[in-house]
Structure 1
Protein backbone atom coordinates (compact mmCIF):
# COMPACT_ATOMS: atom_id res chain seq x y z
CA UNK A 1 0.00 0.00 0.00
CA UNK A 2 1.18 3.51 -0.76
CA UNK A 3 2.33 5.15 2.50
CA UNK A 4 0.89 8.47 1.39
CA UNK A 5 -2.63 7.04 1.26
CA UNK A 6 -3.14 5.82 4.80
CA UNK A 7 -6.55 5.68 6.38
CA UNK A 8 -7.33 7.69 9.49
CA UNK A 9 -7.31 4.44 11.48
CA UNK A 10 -3.86 3.51 10.13
CA UNK A 11 -2.57 6.95 11.05
CA UNK A 12 -4.12 6.68 14.54
CA UNK A 13 -2.48 3.27 15.08
CA UNK A 14 0.89 4.65 13.93
CA UNK A 15 0.68 7.60 16.34
CA UNK A 16 -0.36 5.33 19.20
CA UNK A 17 2.45 2.89 18.42
CA UNK A 18 5.04 5.70 18.35
CA UNK A 19 3.75 7.09 21.64
CA UNK A 20 3.84 3.61 23.16
CA UNK A 21 7.42 3.10 21.98
CA UNK A 22 8.44 6.37 23.69
CA UNK A 23 6.72 5.37 26.95
CA UNK A 24 3.91 7.89 26.54
CA UNK A 25 0.73 6.56 28.11
CA UNK A 26 -2.12 7.86 30.26
CA UNK A 27 -0.04 7.49 33.43
CA UNK A 28 2.74 9.64 31.96
CA UNK A 29 0.27 12.22 30.62
CA UNK A 30 -1.19 12.50 34.11
CA UNK A 31 2.27 12.98 35.64
CA UNK A 32 3.19 15.56 33.00
CA UNK A 33 0.03 17.61 33.47
CA UNK A 34 0.07 17.47 37.29
CA UNK A 35 3.77 18.40 37.50
CA UNK A 36 3.53 21.10 34.87
CA UNK A 37 0.53 22.88 36.33
CA UNK A 38 1.98 22.71 39.85
CA UNK A 39 4.95 24.64 38.45
CA UNK A 40 2.69 27.02 36.53
CA UNK A 41 0.80 27.82 39.73
CA UNK A 42 4.09 28.55 41.51
CA UNK A 43 5.43 30.75 38.69
CA UNK A 44 5.47 34.47 39.49
CA UNK A 45 4.26 35.46 35.99
CA UNK A 46 1.93 32.64 35.02
CA UNK A 47 0.50 31.76 38.43
CA UNK A 48 -1.64 34.91 38.82
CA UNK A 49 -3.04 34.58 35.29
CA UNK A 50 -4.14 31.00 35.89
CA UNK A 51 -5.38 31.78 39.39
CA UNK A 52 -7.55 34.63 38.07
CA UNK A 53 -9.08 32.40 35.41
CA UNK A 54 -9.29 29.03 37.20
CA UNK A 55 -9.51 29.93 40.88
CA UNK A 56 -10.43 26.82 42.85
CA UNK A 57 -11.57 24.84 39.81
CA UNK A 58 -8.28 23.07 39.14
CA UNK A 59 -9.64 19.50 39.08
CA UNK A 60 -11.78 20.05 35.95
CA UNK A 61 -8.97 22.01 34.26
CA UNK A 62 -6.41 19.29 34.95
CA UNK A 63 -8.80 16.59 33.70
CA UNK A 64 -9.41 18.61 30.52
CA UNK A 65 -5.65 19.12 30.01
CA UNK A 66 -5.00 15.39 30.47
CA UNK A 67 -7.58 14.67 27.76
CA UNK A 68 -6.04 17.39 25.58
CA UNK A 69 -2.46 16.09 25.85
CA UNK A 70 -3.58 12.46 25.48
CA UNK A 71 -5.32 13.50 22.27
CA UNK A 72 -2.30 15.48 21.05
CA UNK A 73 0.36 12.92 21.97
CA UNK A 74 -1.50 9.62 21.55
CA UNK A 75 -4.39 10.52 19.24
CA UNK A 76 -6.72 9.44 22.05
CA UNK A 77 -9.60 11.54 20.72
CA UNK A 78 -10.89 12.46 24.18
CA UNK A 79 -10.52 16.26 24.05
CA UNK A 80 -13.57 18.17 22.88
CA UNK A 81 -12.78 21.71 24.05
CA UNK A 82 -12.18 24.90 22.10
CA UNK A 83 -8.75 26.26 23.09
CA UNK A 84 -8.80 29.36 20.88
CA UNK A 85 -11.90 31.02 22.44
CA UNK A 86 -10.70 29.97 25.90
CA UNK A 87 -7.41 31.81 25.35
CA UNK A 88 -8.59 34.82 23.33
CA UNK A 89 -10.87 35.91 26.18
CA UNK A 90 -7.92 36.19 28.60
CA UNK A 91 -6.68 39.63 29.57
CA UNK A 92 -3.17 40.59 30.60
CA UNK A 93 -1.51 37.86 28.52
CA UNK A 94 1.27 38.66 26.06
CA UNK A 95 3.76 36.73 23.95
CA UNK A 96 6.31 36.60 26.78
CA UNK A 97 3.88 34.50 28.80
CA UNK A 98 3.92 31.90 26.04
CA UNK A 99 7.71 31.78 26.14
CA UNK A 100 7.59 31.27 29.90
CA UNK A 101 4.95 28.57 29.45
CA UNK A 102 7.06 26.78 26.83
CA UNK A 103 10.18 27.04 29.01
CA UNK A 104 8.39 25.51 31.99
CA UNK A 105 6.88 22.82 29.79
CA UNK A 106 10.29 21.87 28.40
CA UNK A 107 11.80 21.77 31.89
CA UNK A 108 9.04 19.47 33.13
CA UNK A 109 9.56 17.22 30.11
CA UNK A 110 13.30 17.08 30.73
CA UNK A 111 12.63 16.21 34.38
CA UNK A 112 9.92 13.59 33.79
CA UNK A 113 9.95 12.24 30.22
CA UNK A 114 9.81 8.46 29.97
CA UNK A 115 12.37 8.51 27.13
CA UNK A 116 14.74 11.07 25.58
CA UNK A 117 12.78 11.22 22.32
CA UNK A 118 9.57 12.14 24.18
CA UNK A 119 10.97 15.63 24.91
CA UNK A 120 11.19 16.86 21.29
CA UNK A 121 8.02 14.93 20.44
CA UNK A 122 6.01 16.97 22.97
CA UNK A 123 7.90 20.22 22.39
CA UNK A 124 7.22 20.20 18.66
CA UNK A 125 3.52 19.93 19.38
CA UNK A 126 3.60 22.48 22.23
CA UNK A 127 5.39 25.02 20.04
CA UNK A 128 2.89 24.53 17.23
CA UNK A 129 -0.02 24.97 19.66
CA UNK A 130 1.57 28.07 21.23
CA UNK A 131 2.13 29.62 17.82
CA UNK A 132 -1.46 28.94 16.80
CA UNK A 133 -2.85 30.45 20.00
CA UNK A 134 -0.59 33.49 19.71
CA UNK A 135 -1.71 34.02 16.13
CA UNK A 136 -5.34 33.92 17.27
CA UNK A 137 -4.68 36.23 20.22
CA UNK A 138 -2.21 38.76 18.83
CA UNK A 139 -2.36 38.50 15.05
CA UNK A 140 0.42 37.81 12.60
CA UNK A 141 2.28 41.09 13.04
CA UNK A 142 2.81 40.44 16.77
CA UNK A 143 4.04 36.86 16.57
CA UNK A 144 7.51 36.56 18.09
CA UNK A 145 10.24 35.43 15.74
CA UNK A 146 13.09 33.13 16.54
CA UNK A 147 16.59 34.52 16.35
Structure 2
Protein backbone atom coordinates (compact mmCIF):
# COMPACT_ATOMS: atom_id res chain seq x y z
CA UNK A 1 0.00 0.00 0.00
CA UNK A 2 1.50 3.28 -1.12
CA UNK A 3 0.81 6.24 1.16
CA UNK A 4 1.57 9.72 -0.05
CA UNK A 5 2.87 11.91 2.71
CA UNK A 6 2.24 15.61 2.33
CA UNK A 7 3.77 18.46 4.20
CA UNK A 8 1.59 20.76 6.26
CA UNK A 9 2.13 23.45 3.63
CA UNK A 10 1.00 21.12 0.82
CA UNK A 11 -2.11 20.24 2.83
CA UNK A 12 -2.79 23.93 3.53
CA UNK A 13 -2.54 24.77 -0.19
CA UNK A 14 -4.90 21.90 -1.05
CA UNK A 15 -7.49 23.11 1.49
CA UNK A 16 -7.17 26.67 0.19
CA UNK A 17 -7.60 25.57 -3.44
CA UNK A 18 -10.66 23.52 -2.48
CA UNK A 19 -12.19 26.46 -0.58
CA UNK A 20 -11.46 28.79 -3.49
CA UNK A 21 -13.13 26.35 -5.91
CA UNK A 22 -16.29 26.47 -3.75
CA UNK A 23 -16.23 30.29 -3.64
CA UNK A 24 -15.16 30.44 0.01
CA UNK A 25 -12.98 33.46 0.64
CA UNK A 26 -12.61 36.17 3.29
CA UNK A 27 -15.49 38.19 1.83
CA UNK A 28 -17.82 35.20 2.08
CA UNK A 29 -16.62 34.32 5.60
CA UNK A 30 -17.37 37.90 6.65
CA UNK A 31 -20.88 37.73 5.15
CA UNK A 32 -21.53 34.33 6.75
CA UNK A 33 -20.42 35.44 10.22
CA UNK A 34 -22.28 38.78 10.10
CA UNK A 35 -25.51 37.19 8.83
CA UNK A 36 -25.34 34.23 11.18
CA UNK A 37 -24.70 36.24 14.33
CA UNK A 38 -27.45 38.72 13.45
CA UNK A 39 -29.78 35.69 13.45
CA UNK A 40 -28.28 34.37 16.70
CA UNK A 41 -28.86 37.73 18.39
CA UNK A 42 -32.49 37.74 17.21
CA UNK A 43 -33.14 34.14 18.33
CA UNK A 44 -35.36 33.85 21.43
CA UNK A 45 -33.22 31.07 22.96
CA UNK A 46 -29.69 31.96 21.88
CA UNK A 47 -29.95 35.76 21.87
CA UNK A 48 -30.09 36.19 25.66
CA UNK A 49 -27.14 33.80 26.21
CA UNK A 50 -24.96 35.73 23.78
CA UNK A 51 -26.20 39.09 25.09
CA UNK A 52 -25.29 38.12 28.66
CA UNK A 53 -21.78 37.08 27.63
CA UNK A 54 -20.96 39.62 24.90
CA UNK A 55 -23.18 42.62 25.66
CA UNK A 56 -22.11 45.56 23.49
CA UNK A 57 -18.75 43.98 22.65
CA UNK A 58 -19.80 42.42 19.33
CA UNK A 59 -17.06 43.95 17.17
CA UNK A 60 -14.20 41.94 18.71
CA UNK A 61 -16.34 38.78 18.86
CA UNK A 62 -17.28 38.99 15.18
CA UNK A 63 -13.65 39.64 14.20
CA UNK A 64 -12.58 36.59 16.25
CA UNK A 65 -15.31 34.46 14.64
CA UNK A 66 -14.23 35.56 11.15
CA UNK A 67 -10.67 34.48 11.96
CA UNK A 68 -12.00 31.23 13.42
CA UNK A 69 -14.12 30.30 10.38
CA UNK A 70 -11.39 31.40 7.94
CA UNK A 71 -9.03 29.07 9.79
CA UNK A 72 -11.56 26.23 9.81
CA UNK A 73 -12.70 26.59 6.19
CA UNK A 74 -9.57 27.88 4.47
CA UNK A 75 -6.78 26.83 6.85
CA UNK A 76 -5.95 30.52 7.18
CA UNK A 77 -4.21 30.01 10.53
CA UNK A 78 -5.44 33.31 11.97
CA UNK A 79 -7.42 32.01 14.96
CA UNK A 80 -5.49 31.53 18.17
CA UNK A 81 -8.29 31.29 20.76
CA UNK A 82 -9.33 28.44 23.01
CA UNK A 83 -13.00 27.62 22.27
CA UNK A 84 -13.46 24.93 24.94
CA UNK A 85 -12.64 27.09 28.00
CA UNK A 86 -14.57 30.01 26.48
CA UNK A 87 -17.71 27.88 26.17
CA UNK A 88 -17.24 25.79 29.33
CA UNK A 89 -17.56 28.89 31.53
CA UNK A 90 -20.98 29.80 30.09
CA UNK A 91 -24.03 29.39 32.28
CA UNK A 92 -27.55 28.63 31.11
CA UNK A 93 -26.40 26.61 28.09
CA UNK A 94 -27.73 23.12 27.48
CA UNK A 95 -27.29 20.56 24.71
CA UNK A 96 -30.49 21.72 22.94
CA UNK A 97 -28.90 25.13 22.36
CA UNK A 98 -26.32 23.47 20.11
CA UNK A 99 -29.09 22.09 17.89
CA UNK A 100 -30.61 25.56 17.64
CA UNK A 101 -27.18 26.98 16.79
CA UNK A 102 -26.61 24.32 14.11
CA UNK A 103 -30.09 24.93 12.65
CA UNK A 104 -29.46 28.66 12.35
CA UNK A 105 -26.03 27.98 10.87
CA UNK A 106 -27.51 25.65 8.23
CA UNK A 107 -30.24 28.20 7.36
CA UNK A 108 -27.62 30.91 7.00
CA UNK A 109 -25.52 28.71 4.74
CA UNK A 110 -28.55 27.80 2.62
CA UNK A 111 -29.32 31.51 2.20
CA UNK A 112 -25.75 32.73 1.58
CA UNK A 113 -23.47 29.91 0.37
CA UNK A 114 -21.43 30.77 -2.71
CA UNK A 115 -21.92 27.22 -4.08
CA UNK A 116 -24.04 24.19 -3.21
CA UNK A 117 -21.04 22.16 -2.05
CA UNK A 118 -20.08 24.86 0.47
CA UNK A 119 -23.11 23.92 2.61
CA UNK A 120 -22.05 20.36 3.54
CA UNK A 121 -18.42 21.51 3.69
CA UNK A 122 -19.23 24.01 6.46
CA UNK A 123 -21.88 21.84 8.15
CA UNK A 124 -19.50 18.90 8.56
CA UNK A 125 -17.08 21.19 10.36
CA UNK A 126 -19.78 22.95 12.40
CA UNK A 127 -21.24 19.62 13.56
CA UNK A 128 -17.79 18.36 14.58
CA UNK A 129 -17.13 21.58 16.51
CA UNK A 130 -20.55 21.44 18.22
CA UNK A 131 -20.01 17.79 19.20
CA UNK A 132 -16.57 18.60 20.61
CA UNK A 133 -17.90 21.53 22.66
CA UNK A 134 -20.85 19.46 23.92
CA UNK A 135 -18.49 16.68 25.05
CA UNK A 136 -16.31 19.23 26.84
CA UNK A 137 -19.29 20.90 28.52
CA UNK A 138 -21.61 17.99 29.26
CA UNK A 139 -19.59 14.78 28.87
CA UNK A 140 -20.86 11.68 27.14
CA UNK A 141 -24.59 10.97 27.29
CA UNK A 142 -25.68 8.41 29.89
CA UNK A 143 -22.43 8.71 31.81
CA UNK A 144 -21.87 10.14 35.22
CA UNK A 145 -19.73 13.28 35.22
CA UNK A 146 -16.18 12.78 36.48
CA UNK A 147 -15.29 14.09 39.91
Shorter-chain TM-score: which interval?
over 0.9
* TM-score, normalization by structure 2: 0.94
**Distance apart, 1:141 and its partner CA:** 2.1
**Distance apart, 1:142 and its partner CA:** 5.7
* Separation in structure 2 between the aligned mates of residue 76 and residue 19 of structure 1, nearest angstrom: 11
Query: 1:5-24, aligned counterparts within 5 Å?
Result: 5-24=5-24
**Distance apart, 1:37 and its partner CA:** 0.1
State the SS of the aligned residue for 2:100. helix
State the SS of the aligned residue for 1:30. helix
Where does the alignment leave 5 or more consecutive residues of structure 2 unmatched?
A: none
Identify the residue that residue 47 of structure 2 maps to in structure 1. 47
* Separation in structure 2 between the aligned mates of residue 115 and residue 108 of structure 1, nearest angstrom: 13
Query: 1:38-117, aligned counterparts within 5 Å?
Result: 38-117=38-117
Identify the residue that residue 137 of structure 2 maps to in structure 1. 137
State the SS of the aligned residue for 1:140. coil
* Separation in structure 1 between the aligned mates of residue 35 and residue 27 of structure 2, nearest angstrom: 12
* Separation in structure 2 between the aligned mates of residue 141 and residue 47 of structure 1, nearest angstrom: 26
Where does the alignment leave 5 or more consecutive residues of structure 1 unmatched?
A: none
Identify the residue that residue 27 of structure 1 maps to in structure 2. 27
State the SS of the aligned residue for 2:141. helix
Alignment size in residue pairs = 142
State the SS of the aligned residue for 1:96. helix
CA-based RMSD of the aligned residues comes to 1.2
* Separation in structure 2 between the aligned mates of residue 118 and residue 3 of structure 1, nearest angstrom: 28
* Separation in structure 2 between the aligned mates of residue 44 and residue 142 of structure 1, nearest angstrom: 28
**Distance apart, 1:95 and its partner CA:** 0.5
Q: Where does structure 1 differ by over 6 angstroms across 4 or more consecutive aligned residues?
A: none
* Separation in structure 2 between the aligned mates of residue 3 and residue 58 of structure 1, nearest angstrom: 45
